[in-house]
Structure 1
Amino acid sequence: MVTVYTTGPDCIRCKMTKGVMTKKGLEFVEVDIRQNAAAREYVTEELGYSEAPVCVVEDGTGEDHWSGFRPDNISRLVTLTRSGE
C-alpha cells in the first residue's frame, strides 16, 4: 500500500506521480494535506518534507518514503509488487 500526500488538484508533480502510478497499475491512497491537518503535520514535522507529493510505502519499516515526482521510485515499487505476486 502506498499513500500519496498531495496539495490538491493544482499540484503538477502530484498529478504526474498519481498518473504514472495509475498507468503502471500501482494502488495508492491520496491524502490532501491542505484538507487534513494531522496528515500535514505528519509530512512536515515527522517526515521533514516541504514539497509535495510525499509518497509513503506502508512496508512496516517506516523508512520507505520520498518527496517529489520520482519515476525511479515508482518503477522500483512496480518491480517489488510484481516480485511479491
Structure 2
Amino acid sequence: MSHEVTVYTRPGCVQCTATKRALAQARVPHLVVDVDDHPEVLDTLRELDALALPVVVTSTGHWTGYRPDQIRALTLTTTQEGSR
C-alpha cells in the first residue's frame, strides 16, 4: 500500500494524537514518523518552515498542527481517487 500522507509526530503531543486519530477515522492511509526515533528528519521539517508538530506532508503540500479542515479535504481527495 502506498502512503501519500506522512505525519511527523512525537510522543505526548496532543495535536499529533488528534491528527492521527482523525486520519484513521477518515480512513486516509498515512505513514507515522516519530521525530524522536528519526531525528534525521528534523532538517527536512525545518526546510518546510515547520516548527511545530504534527507536520502532515501530502502529495500536494503540508501543514502543521491539528487541522480538521485539511483532513476533510484529504478525505474528499481520497474518496474521489478511489472511485476512479
Instruction: Specify if TM > 0.5.
Output: yes
Aligned length: 79
Give the Cα separation in 2 of the matches to 1:19 and 1:25: 10
Q: What does residue 73 of structure 1 align with?
A: 70
Check whether the contact 1:34–1:40 (CA below 8 A) recurs between aligned residues. no
Give the Cα separation in 1 of the matches to 2:54 and 2:72: 16
Aligned: 1:83 with 2:80: yes
Which sections of structure 2, spanning at least 5 residues, go unmatched? none
Give the Cα separation in 1 of the matches to 2:42 and 2:34: 8
SS at match of 2:41: helix
Which sections of structure 1, spanning at least 5 residues, go unmatched? none
Identity %: 32
Q: CA deviation at 1:36?
A: 1.2
Alignment of 1:5-84 (within 5 A): 5-8=8-11, 10-44=12-46, 46-57=47-58, 59=59, 63-84=60-81
Check whether the contact 1:51–1:68 (CA below 8 A) recurs between aligned residues. yes
Give the Cα separation in 1 of the matches to 2:31 and 2:42: 15
Q: CA deviation at 1:50?
A: 1.0
Q: Considering only aligned residues, what root-mean-square deviation do their CA atoms show, in Å? A: 1.0
TM-score of the superposition, structure 2-length normalised? 0.88
TM-score of the superposition, structure 1-length normalised? 0.87
Moved over 6 A (4+): none
